Amino acid sequence: MSRVPDDHWLDREAGPVVRPYALTGGRTRASGETFDLLAIVTASVDGRSLDRMFLEPEHVHVLRLCRGPVPVADLASDLDLPLGVVRILLSDMRERGLITIGKPARSGLTDPRVLKDVADALRRL
């Protein structure tokens, strides 16, 4: 019987496989009020003024990225983490008062008359 190396399940090129699970504590759903991909995230506190010993590196990174308003979709892309993980991180940070999550601004293009006028103009092209 041959001995299997202790690290036979590791894939050095894939990176840390367990990391998202560890970041969320095994949770698969965000807590609190739901928010969508276009929701706007803004830091409530200055990231430099916090005692970083109590923040994960991802929390600090989010605070840096959210100095100005940023959509959730952009954060997920910039953090290079799955959207579900980002939503859980953001909901945790919102509960701690580190960020605010606002609804996206409405475009004003929900008036059926405006949409009809735009469609008619496109047809005339």
Kindly indicate the confidence band of residue 79, based on its pLDDT and cuts at 50, 70 and 90: confident
- 27-67 tens-digit pLDDT: 767 777 888 888 999 998 765 556 555 777 888 888 999 88
Q: Where are the domains of the chain?
A: 19-124
- Asked if the model's pLDDT at residue 84 lies above 70, the reply is yes
Least confident of 12-16, 44-48, 89-93, 98-102: 12-16
What's the pTM? 0.64
Q: How many CA atoms lie within 13 A of 22 on its CB side?
A: 7
CATH architecture of the domain 19-124 equals Orthogonal Bundle (1.10)
Query: Which residues are CB-neighbours of 80 under 8 A, at least 6 positions away?
Result: none
Pairing of strands 40-43, 99-102: antiparallel
Whether the CB-CB separation of 44 and 98 falls below 8 Å is answered with yes
